[in-house]
Amino acid sequence: MTSRNRQAGSGRGATTGGNRSGGSAGDRSGAPRPSPRPGGHGDSRRGKAGEGRVDDGNPGSEGGRKAKPDERRGKHRKFADRPWLYGPHAVAAALANPARRCRRLLVTREAWRRLEADGAALPAGLEAPTIVERERLDRELGPGAVHQGIALDAEPLDWPSLEQVCARRDGAVALVLDQVLDPQNVGAILRSAAAFGALAVIMTDRNAPPPLGSLAKAASGALEIVPLLREVNLARALDKLADCGYWRIGLDGEASHDLSAARPRDRQPVALVLGAEEKGLRRLTRENCDILARLPIEAGMESLNVSNAAAVALYELTRVRRD
Check residue 76 and give its pLDDT: 34
Across the chain, mean pLDDT equals 79
Q: What are phi and psi of 217, to 5 degrees?
A: -65, -45
**Mean pLDDT computed over 64-83:** 41
Q: Is the pLDDT assigned to residue 293 strictly greater than 60?
A: yes
pLDDT band at 139 (very low <50, low <70, confident <90, very high): confident
Percent of the chain with pLDDT over 90: 47
Check residue 186 and give its pLDDT: 97
Higher pLDDT, 323 or 121: 121
pLDDT digits (tens, 9 = 90+) for 220-274: 999 999 999 999 999 999 999 999 999 999 999 889 899 999 989 888 999 999 9
Does domain 12-27+169-322 match CATH 3.40.1280.10?
yes
Higher pLDDT, 322 or 170: 170
pLDDT band at 113 (very low <50, low <70, confident <90, very high): confident
With 0-12 / 13-18 / 19 or more C-beta atoms within 10 angstroms meaning exposed / middle / buried, residue 234 is buried
Higher pLDDT, 220 or 60: 220
Find the Cα–Cα–Cα–Cα dihedral 200, 20, 235, 202, rounded to 10°.
Answer: -20
Percent of the chain with pLDDT over 70: 73
pLDDT digits (tens, 9 = 90+) for 19-34: 433 333 344 444 555 6
Give the neighbor-by-neighbor strand order of the sheet with 102-107. 53-54, 130-131, 102-107, 150-154, 84-86
What residue spans define the domains of the chain?
A: 12-27+169-322, 54-147
Check residue 63 and give its pLDDT: 42
Compute CA distances 125 → 13, 95, 96, 129, 230, whole Å: 51, 11, 13, 12, 28
Q: Is the pLDDT assigned to residue 46 strictly greater than 50?
A: no
The pairing of strands 53-54 and 130-131 is: parallel
Give the range among 35-44, 89-98, 129-138 with minimum mean pLDDT: 35-44
**Mean pLDDT computed over 313-321:** 87
Could you report how far apart the first and last alpha carbons of the chain are, in Å? 35
**Mean pLDDT computed over 114-133:** 83
**Mean pLDDT computed over 183-202:** 97
Check residue 53 and give its pLDDT: 61
pLDDT band at 55 (very low <50, low <70, confident <90, very high): low
Check residue 254 and give its pLDDT: 86
Check residue 60 and give its pLDDT: 35
Check residue 302 and give its pLDDT: 73
